[in-house]
Structure 1
Amino acid sequence: MEITDFDENTVFGVIGVCGINGNLIARLLMDHGFKVQANDMVNEEDCRFKAALKDYPEMKIYYGEIPETFFTSSDYMIIPTALLESKSMLYHKIKKYGIPILTVKDILEIFEPKHPVICITGTNGKTTTTTLLKHIAYHAGLKPCEHNLMGLQGNTADIPPLQSRLNGNINILETGTFGIKGSLEKLAKACKPDVGLITNITPDHLSENSSFLDYARVKGELVELLRNKTLVINNDDPTIESLLKELNYEGNLISFGLDTNSNKTTLKQCFCGKKVQIKEFCGGVGVYECNCGLKYTKPDYLACNINDKHNQFILKTPYNEEYEFKLGIYGIHNIYNAVGAIIIAHETLNISYETIKEAVKSFKGVGGRMEKIGISHNKQIMVDYAHNPAGITSVLKELKNAYGTIVDVITTSSESGIDGDKEILDCAAEHANYIVPASHNAYLCAKHALDNGKYTDKIVLPDSMPEGDKKGTLGATVEQVLVGFNKALELDANLVVCTGEAAFKYKDIIKDNE
């Protein structure tokens, strides 16, 4: 089936327009000039993504019912996968009417992205990099395709490929996975990428049956899709460099890195089987060397002369140019994010450095990333989505630099299991003055550390920890988060930062509880 099989009078019936795929598909079809009527069995006031439909007044939507005319007037029908696979009553009714059913796969095959596609992946920083690059694009008069599904990050499942087929003139897509083999290939291949960026690769989403290098190979699935295309990489990450060597990548490779100081040395797994020694700038990246011959080299783009606040730098380009940038956000990790976005904005989108300078200066960050939510008990209160060791390290290191005395309220339950939770605790202990566990796993790790005489001057346990285990990727219940937060308010500090997905999810409740 091809798009030529349809004409301007073709009517598509979309079931489940208040769901993720139904909403995106209905809008996609409208954006391509087709007639759409839609339905959802929820009431209009309960339609989760109704706001995304406001620009489509011509779309007739039936809430809470499906009239017979819906079937008699639809030439094609799109229904949720669950209803299709279960051969529901609705499915049989559609078949009875003889209406062809289209799947998400059909939609992605029929409609191609109309504009260049940039896919951004990595363990940390991909949301900030993606959002900043979009901000630069908007500032330059471009219109990125947006999924507009309020409350969703939108970096997994069918969202990025469907988003790439919506109205706009550039596609800037965050493509994340849970580290499952084949998952990034499936996601990114459907997006049809022209350009890719890898922010970094650090341990995350590791199960008992997968290693860090297995996880890194999943990120390599995007690399394979970008052979003979453009790939932008963090030059200071030895895992990325080792991965490219392992895959024998060929294409337009552009590297970036930082020139800054470090007094910390860490180790990271190399694909040769040995450990890479890193003079670490930030969460597993820096100047490195491995006995196998893998060795740091100067990148194409280098950020240097970084100020003490970590929000200003000079960017040296491969063309012997130098440009000074000042960011609206701060942090070594955010300089990495910014440089990646700057390179793609200039090299791929042809945006001038002057326009980019204005945009990065006005960018105020992403919700849930070093987000200030108020002041309580003479302390600044902040939430941050950081949920793995590298993310915790990067965030707390910068906050310690900016605020002095800080408390980390840990709401995470690591995707890598209890070993990951222990590593998160270790990272927090290295940079925070106090640690308050606010999840079941964080509490167990903190008690174990205290029982073994570790971090006795840093860990402060809540009087009790409410019951509740991890649900999905959410590491803590709202009750656990509030118990930890209230305990943190008792401590003498300048800043209380609640880290983890639960902190981000419950930030309004935390704010109201101040």
Structure 2
Amino acid sequence: MQLQGKRILVVGAGKSGQAVCEFLVEKKALVSLTDASSSEQIPDVAKALSDRGITLFLGEYPQVTREDYNLLVVSPGVPLTVPPVEQARKAGVPVMGELELAYRFARAPVVAITGTNGKTTTTSLLGQMFQEAGYRTLVAGNIGLPLIQEVEKYSAQDRIVAEVSSFQLETSQTFAPRVSVILNITPDHLDRHGSMEEYVRAKARILAHQGPDDWAVLNYDDPLTRNLAGNCSARVLFFSTRHILESGIFIQEDQIVLRDKGRQLEIAKLQTLRIPGAHNLENALAAVGAGYAIGLAPEEIARTLASFAGVAHRLEYVATVNGVRYINDSKGTNPDAAMKALEAYDVPIVLIAGGKNKGVSFTEFAGKIKERVRVLITVGLHGGQIEAAAREQNFDPIYPARDYAEAVQLAHRYARPGEVVLLSPACTSWDMFKNFEERGELFKKLVLELKEQPATVTDGLE
């Protein structure tokens, strides 16, 4: 892809947009950037990009015509309905995202992982598998490191493991990973995609350009995911925690088993896995399939399954205070993720939930709260929606908190020894925080401060 001398407009000044700008400057393109934020709102970013010779349109959008621009690169967080994108499409200016741009410069085989939940855990697990097997491995994408930033540093002998979101896949055009993984598809981001059908269509783009020499690892137990196999040109490898498969990865007599080409491989005993919860078993099976598809030996896969302890902000153990375990699941940003977190524990739970809703219903989540939770503490912009859904299930008690400091104190007050205090918000963090990491770090800080307080007798709602 020839970029030198091309007039390129980057839309979005976040981490991805900044990385794209740096990449394009190195390729000697003529780069402009636009963002709805003004230079006063993002002064450090504005200065850094201006110093690199990038033309800035901050707090406003430029007019996009074929005479002015050869290409528009849109950041994943930017809706495709913003004026520059719509103008570019009407004018016939090509539009792509950072994922597509990075892929065109990738030389290493790409394993791409998507799904509503479990992406980061599975991406991290698979990346560790490759690293421990001796491969130089890039773990990037939606996990936090823009792929464009590092992609050219890896050769055909290396491996790239990319977490990809529906937002990134929306603008993919030729993206064809050697191995694609779809973990699950449940309602999420409907405020962006408009309908469940459009959300599924965006996720399915991970399969769109694969060929018969590629692999697609799909969740057999999730009907929306399983049905995508019918339109897939790649070789399909299913995984299932509920069924014995003729071909694929499944559980048999407490063993992870892989069947392919008429042979059966016993990969690992379930008791060797360190990550908790049924959903993490699904993630592990998906990683087994992807690792096998790209050439890892069973013993290499098993070694990492036995050592991988999970990722930050996903069922992350924080501390035990007065006999109560505190768990940080700030990455549980939708109801399905939060329900899976609730299912990971077989003791009563004091749940902290709430934040900014993404246009999804809390009805099913409320049913799971009634089943698994003893005390509910709500917080954030749409905490009241969770409270209302729980009350419709005749759940009680519920305590709304003004902020996280009060939420943690309420949890400390009402939790009993042997129970779990779980932060799993079922919402994004954008009402109160920059991201789920910031939310999780505050929760951990507040919990660790509890350890410094003198022991008190909690009322436990007796």
TM-score (norm 1): 0.64
Q: 1:432 to 1:101 in 2, by over 3 A?
A: same
The separation in 1 between residues aligned to 2:179 and 2:285, in whole angstroms, is 16
Tell me the residue number matched to 2:438: 505
The separation in 2 between residues aligned to 1:382 and 1:2, in whole angstroms, is 49
Aligned length: 394
The separation in 2 between residues aligned to 1:512 and 1:370, in whole angstroms, is 16
Larger gyration radius, structure 1 or structure 2: 1
Q: 1:117 to 1:344 in 2, by over 3 A?
A: same
Gaps of 5+ in 2: 30-37, 74-94, 430-435, 451-462
Secondary structure in 2 aligned to 1:255? strand
Q: 1:357 to 1:163 in 2, by over 3 A?
A: farther
The separation in 2 between residues aligned to 1:122 and 1:185, in whole angstroms, is 14
Which amino acid in 1 is paired with 2:136? K
Structure 1 residue 338 and structure 2 residue 323: aligned? no
The separation in 2 between residues aligned to 1:110 and 1:129, in whole angstroms, is 20
Instruction: Map Cα deviations across residues 198-239 of structure 1 (whole Å, 9 max, x no partner).
Output: 101122222498443442232222222224332111112122
CA contact (8 A) 1:436 1:484 kept: yes
Q: 1:304 to 1:28 in 2, by over 3 A?
A: farther
Which amino acid in 2 is paired with 1:254? L
1:497 positional shift: 0.6
Tell me the residue number matched to 2:234: 251
The separation in 2 between residues aligned to 1:455 and 1:17, in whole angstroms, is 43
CA contact (8 A) 1:17 1:26 kept: no
Residue in structure 2 matching 1:176, options 154, 160, 165? 165
Residue in structure 2 matching 1:199, options 178, 183, 190? 183
Tell me the residue number matched to 1:429: 370
Secondary structure in 2 aligned to 1:223? coil
Residue in structure 1 matching 2:264, options 314, 320, 326? 320
Which amino acid in 2 is paired with 1:167? K
CA contact (8 A) 1:145 1:167 kept: no
Tell me the residue number matched to 2:304: 359
Q: Report % sequence identity.
A: 22
1:81 positional shift: 7.4
Q: 1:347 to 1:390 in 2, by over 3 A?
A: same
1:27 positional shift: 6.0
Secondary structure in 2 aligned to 1:202? coil
Secondary structure in 2 aligned to 1:171? strand
The separation in 2 between residues aligned to 1:194 and 1:371, in whole angstroms, is 31
Residue in structure 1 matching 2:354, options 403, 408, 411? 411
1:173 positional shift: 0.8
Q: 1:224 to 1:82 in 2, by over 3 A?
A: farther
CA contact (8 A) 1:125 1:199 kept: yes
1:376 positional shift: 3.0
1:379-394 map, 5 Å: 379-384=324-329, 385-394=331-340
Secondary structure in 2 aligned to 1:226? coil
Q: 1:221 to 1:497 in 2, by over 3 A?
A: same
Structure 1 residue 26 and structure 2 residue 22: aligned? yes
Q: 1:194 to 1:164 in 2, by over 3 A?
A: farther
Tell me the residue number matched to 1:86: 62
Which amino acid in 1 is paired with 2:405? L
Structure 1 residue 304 and structure 2 residue 252: aligned? yes
Q: Could you say what the CA RMSD is over the residues aligned between the two structures, in angstroms?
A: 4.2
Q: 1:145 to 1:190 in 2, by over 3 A?
A: farther
1:421 positional shift: 2.6
Which amino acid in 1 is paired with 2:351? D
1:144 positional shift: 2.4
TM-score (norm 2): 0.71
Q: 1:47 to 1:411 in 2, by over 3 A?
A: same
Residue in structure 2 matching 1:125, options 108, 111, 118? 118
Q: 1:154 to 1:421 in 2, by over 3 A?
A: same
Q: 1:445 to 1:254 in 2, by over 3 A?
A: closer
CA contact (8 A) 2:175 2:209 kept: no
CA contact (8 A) 1:28 1:165 kept: no
The separation in 1 between residues aligned to 2:165 and 2:309, in whole angstroms, is 23
Which amino acid in 2 is paired with 1:26? E
1:133 positional shift: 0.6
Residue in structure 1 matching 2:227, options 233, 236, 242? 242
The separation in 1 between residues aligned to 2:15 and 2:193, in whole angstroms, is 33
Q: 1:206 to 1:18 in 2, by over 3 A?
A: closer
The separation in 1 between residues aligned to 2:138 and 2:182, in whole angstroms, is 21
1:366 positional shift: 0.9
Secondary structure in 1 aligned to 2:137? coil
Q: 1:27 to 1:361 in 2, by over 3 A?
A: farther
Which amino acid in 1 is paired with 2:259? T
Tell me the residue number matched to 1:2: 2
Q: 1:448 to 1:65 in 2, by over 3 A?
A: closer
Secondary structure in 2 aligned to 1:250? coil
Residue in structure 2 matching 1:144, options 137, 145, 155? 137
Structure 1 residue 460 and structure 2 residue 398: aligned? yes
1:405 positional shift: 2.1
Which amino acid in 2 is paired with 1:136? M
Which amino acid in 1 is paired with 2:119? K
Tell me the residue number matched to 2:33: none
The separation in 1 between residues aligned to 2:321 and 2:440, in whole angstroms, is 14
Secondary structure in 2 aligned to 1:321? strand
The separation in 1 between residues aligned to 2:374 and 2:72, in whole angstroms, is 53
The separation in 2 between residues aligned to 1:425 and 1:492, in whole angstroms, is 20
Gaps of 5+ in 1: 7-13, 36-40, 49-61, 72-77, 88-94, 259-285, 288-295, 307-312, 467-478
